[in-house]
Amino acid sequence: PTSLHTFAARFFLAMILCATITLENTYSGQLKSILTVPLFTEAVDTMEKWSKTDWTWSAPSIVWTQTIDSSHIEKEQIMSEKFVVHDYDFLYNASFRPDYGLGIERLMSGSFTFGDFITAPALETKIISKDDLYFDWTRAVSIRGWPLMPLFDEHISACIETGLFVHWERQNVAKYLDRQTQQIMLNLASGHINKSPPQKLTIENISGATFALIFGCLIASFVFLLELSIYNFNKFQDFRNKTK
């Protein structure tokens, strides 16, 4: 047969060879194929950006939003409307969702307080906002004309100036909260973003490409068989014509 008649066969064999080499390099040896998802939007790392999304956030108590419930600031009003109270079981499951926010408290010392529903594995897909939704002081209330108020004010001022409050906060954080989770939060707050390790491709990851490959192989096989049949038929016709 001429080179034109064998084009389909050579093209089919070339495609099979390329597919074999691709799959061999993907699933064997020391090569690892990495799936990446392009990020078309900016990271939601500020309260302003969060207020423009349709995501909600939650905490185990309504106390988290009482300070901003009557706020006249539009951003705080939106964040208050997005807040929902849930129990610890729901919050634990929601902590693994990339589109759901959880309330944590940033202390004056820079540490964070958080509920038991937040674990280290859940923080792999989380970021901590660069700014706070609001800042509130602990209040002390007394009767009007309390004679010890000046002394109490001096005591509070001395605790702040000497760093005693910061020392108490750090001491209690180390004592009662998970240190690994705390360290991850500090890293996230400093701008560190966890990167997912390379993962090997599976059939589910390349199902679309696999379907296209199989479909192409079937079409190529059909064309190859058709070309082979036509060639044999023409050869048989030539043989009959010569024998007559």
Average pLDDT over residues 223-240: 83
Query: Which pTM was predicted?
Result: 0.59
In eight-state DSSP terms, residue 46 is: S
pLDDT score of 29 more than 60:
no
Per DSSP, what are the bridge partners of residue 59?
85
3-state secondary structure of 57: strand
Q: How many residues does the chain have?
A: 244
3-state secondary structure of 126: coil
- The sign of the torsion formed by the CA atoms of 115, 119, 122, 126 equals positive
Domain map of the chain by residue range? 7-35+202-243, 47-189
* Confidence (pLDDT) at 57: 95
How many other CB atoms are there within 10 angstroms of residue 194's CB atom? Answer: 13
Each residue of 81-119: pLDDT tens digit? 999 999 999 999 999 998 899 999 998 888 999 999 999
Each residue of 146-203: pLDDT tens digit? 999 999 999 989 988 999 989 999 999 988 899 999 999 988 888 776 665 555 666 6
Question: In the numeric block, which tokens belong to residue 108?
Answer: 């004056």
Torsion of CA 152, 156, 159, 160, to 10 degrees: -160
How many angstroms separate the first and last alpha carbons of the chain? Answer: 23
Instruction: Return d(Cα 123, Cα 184) in angstroms, integer.
Output: 7
